[in-house]
Structure 1
Amino acid sequence: MNSNITLPIRFFIFVLVIVIAGCSTTPEQQNQVKAEPVSVSDPRDPLEVINRPFWTFTWDYVDKYLAKPASEVYTTYTAPFLRTGLYNMALNLNEPASIINNLLQLKFTAAAKNTGRFVLNSTIGLLGFYDPASDFDWSAEQEEFGEVLGFYGVGNGPYIVIPGMGPSSVREEVGDYVDNLYWPMVVIDFWPNMIRLGVLGLEKRAAVRDQEQLLVESEDPYVFIKNAYFQNMNYKLYDGQPPIVINEAQEAEIDALLDDFYDLE
């Protein structure tokens, strides 16, 4: 969930991407498109021609020279108890939105746990700095409005790379906008929001440090991140138990291969 401070920036970039995509063809090219439909290598990513430069800027410059160094300094020199406490406080502010989003998905048990977590951690836990709710096995499973949309059958929509921020999608952007209309996000002042965003961003970058080598060694980092993004969205949508999708064409090829193998015996 993102702060409402970034909403104007994200909205501007979102609109800019759509406008650029619409203006990226000349009238002659548009006529050709009508005559010969352009094939898209990945239907999830119709804006790839725009997303790739945005990804290059984000990974090769913003992450390399800003996000990664800042995360390393923060995690190295911040006392562990302070780091954990600040992260707990940042996550605690998301609990009210999770309560509503769980209720909208008819997940009453999860909504009750979120309510208990918010009340207990905001009081005894000193505004969320400590996490006494975990002692009651009330897990910090947070829900976003984008997952509510997915629950009711709304697809991810086109894949989008927000410059300097990373992968996203139309559904996630709409969900983030709604999440920031919930209390207390909508009433939090500028500097508390900036601190919250900074803590979440630094911790998020630190969390992927161990997997960074996989990205570096991948044949196409852009595709690697895109696939990982959609897998993560699917994982969150189904609460860690996504359905097993069977590729019928691939299964048929394997069956045919096995039949040929057995015929040789």
Structure 2
Amino acid sequence: MSNPTLRKRLIPLLFAAMMPAMLAACATKPPASEPEALSEYETNNDPLEPFNRAMYAVNNGIDTVILRPAALGYRYVVPQPVRTGVRNVLLNLGTPVIALNDALQGEGQRFGTTLGRFVLNSTIGVLGVFDVATGFGLPRHGEDFGQTLATWGVGEGPYLFLPIFGPSNPRDVVGLVTDTATNPMTWVLMGSDIPQSVPYIVLGVRIVDAREGVLDTLDDVKRSSLDPYATIRSAYRQQRNREISNPPGPPPNSRTGSGFNLPANTLQFR
């Protein structure tokens, strides 16, 4: 990396994303002499639960004060067709990452579909504003390096809850870092010729759009669940396993890849 400005911007970002994975490496499995603790560990895979619940509380505070009001304002002020266009552009920017991971998983047909989507939506679809590819029989699917690692047999590791990003695990943290580093848009937005404010503006738009996409889902969870943290943990794991299995049809939530986190994917375009 020869560009010092780019290095200055990118390295702290990647280091921050890697910190939870390094912390999680310190977790240990309860011994067989403690059957109840062992059973709970294996069921929840959450040995860092006190830390994770603290992070959930932090995240919930940030969400209550900043993210949810911003998402509500975005939904109220910006018309649905405009929000759809913004979302389509963000999704189109993430297509190279999806294509790369399709290739790494040996999914030739899905790779062709992704490549075709990118060409059609970037041209006829006016830089991705309109999703014309779906009308041509090329439906969108999500993919990321966390899923690639899973198909290669890498275990997920202990459950993590990250501020802003939400539920994750060490495998997906590594995936996030890799997807961010291999996404061409990362290098374009962080190039020396781009004003320093632009990456943060794009990031902010993506966060608000993603949060708006799960407004109703998270409101329902917080309103009806006795333990929202546990509900989100369970739902995230189920959803992530579904994504890894590559079922037919579009992603359950086309904005975030999972209805229970921002991110998984907030720093990058996926």
Aligned to 2:166: 166
Identity value in percent:
33
Q: How many pairs does the alignment contain?
A: 227
1:66 aligns to 2:73 (yes or no): no
Q: Return the match for 1:218 from 225, 234, 238.
A: 225
| Shift of residue 138, structure 1, vs aligned partner | 1.0
Give 1:132 shift: 1.5
- Which runs of 5 or more structure 2 residues have no equivalent in the other structure? 1-8, 191-196, 249-270
Computed over aligned residues only, the root mean square deviation of the Cα atoms, in angstroms, reads: 2.6
Of 213, 229, 234, 1:207 maps to 213
List aligned pairs for 1:82-121, cutoff 5 A.
82-121=82-121
Report the CA distance between 1:183 and its aligned residue: 3.7
2:206 alignment partner, SS class = helix
Cα deviation code 1:127-152 (max 9, x no counterpart): 21222212102111121011111112
Greater Rg over alpha carbons, structure: 1
TM-score, scaled relative to structure 1: 0.76
Partner amino acid for 1:148?
T
Instruction: State the partner residue of 2:203.
Output: 197
Change (3 A) 1:156 1:34: closer
Deviation at 1:8, TM superposition (A): 3.3
Specify the alignment match of 2:49 in structure 1.
Answer: 48
8 A Cα contact 2:94 2:183, kept in partner: no
Q: TM-score, normalised by structure 2?
A: 0.75
Q: Which residue in the other structure is 2:267 paired with?
A: none
CA distance in 1, matches of 2:90, 2:245: 24
SS of the residue aligned with 2:150?
helix
Whether the aligned pair in 1 keeps the contact of 2:17 and 2:177 (CA below 8 Å) is no
CA shift at 1:192, angstroms? 4.1
Contact 1:10 1:162 in 2 (8 A): no
Which residue is 1:240 aligned to? 247
The gaps in structure 1 that reach 5 residues or longer are 23-29, 242-265
How many angstroms apart in 2 are the aligned matches of 1:81 and 1:67? 21
